[in-house]
Amino acid sequence: MRWETIAPDTCCLCGCAGPMTGEHKMKRAALQAEFGDRPAVIGRVGERFNPLQSMKSKRLHFGAKLCEPCNSTRTQKADRCFERLTEAAKAAIRSGQSPGVVLTEGYFAKSLDDRVAVGQYLAKLICCHLADVARVRWTTLSDYALNQTREMPCEISLGMDPIFADYKQEIGDHPYAAHGGLVAIWSTSAESVAGFQSSLTFGPLRYVFRFNTGLWDRLSLPWNRIDFWRQCRNATLASEQGQADVGDLIRLGFIESDANEVGAI
């Protein structure tokens, strides 16, 4: 099946049981580079922020778990490539360039393998989000995250985070990080999930990434997990009725089009 229900104490990437490990919602190395030893707080925009004890805090982890092989040897290259790309993009910002230049010039522009690996790291995050919100494993995406296939319709962009820019004007240039949760992209014409999108922010740098469903993914979801299909559809209806958080949508960098609408799950 392309959409599987994840049993308790099983890996959200490979579906196997065994010793489980946690995964950070935002890359721990990138958080440490951003905050260093400075104290940090955690919360949502518009809500109360609470002190964060350390970058090892469970509040920074997904509830979903990964088996030890999937969170080490099977995905280590993807993790390292994401760290290098983040460092290169932040260096571009410091030099006065757009962060997106690192995808069109220099090392990452020439290395297809490393660009694929970055996509595989981001795919792992979407898999963890899916497991958190619905205990569902999208096998097409998890196969990509584990490098079992190198073909996956995805869109990745690097830019400046507008939320960070607003914070900087109000409180100065302080360390900042955020993630965009999980958003289902709904095709109104096909009555199906067109993809899933999220974002990551480290200081001024923002990643926006989206993985698109293929034809058989879209057709099989109502058959494999009708409850999740309805959850995605209802989230979209909520956003149409003005119930979606505008700040979350801005952070995600989502631009609404005639064909697709956004629903924060």
Eight-state DSSP code of residue 59: G
Distance CA 32, CA 80 (A): 15
pLDDT of residue 57: 87
SS3 85: helix
pLDDT, block means (10 residues), the chain with 265 residues: 93 94 93 87 75 84 95 94 95 94 84 91 96 95 94 89 83 84 88 93 94 95 95 77 51 37 40
Domain that holds residue 137: 3-264
Q: Report the number of distinct structural domains present in the chain.
A: 1
Distance CA 48, CA 256 (A): 29
pLDDT of residue 226: 97
Closest CA to 27 of 98, 103, 111, 89: 89
- Encoded tokens for 45: 């925009």
Distance CA 195, CA 211 (A): 5
SS3 102: helix
Distance CA 101, CA 123 (A): 22
Dmax over CA atoms of the chain, in Å, equals 51
pLDDT of residue 239: 64
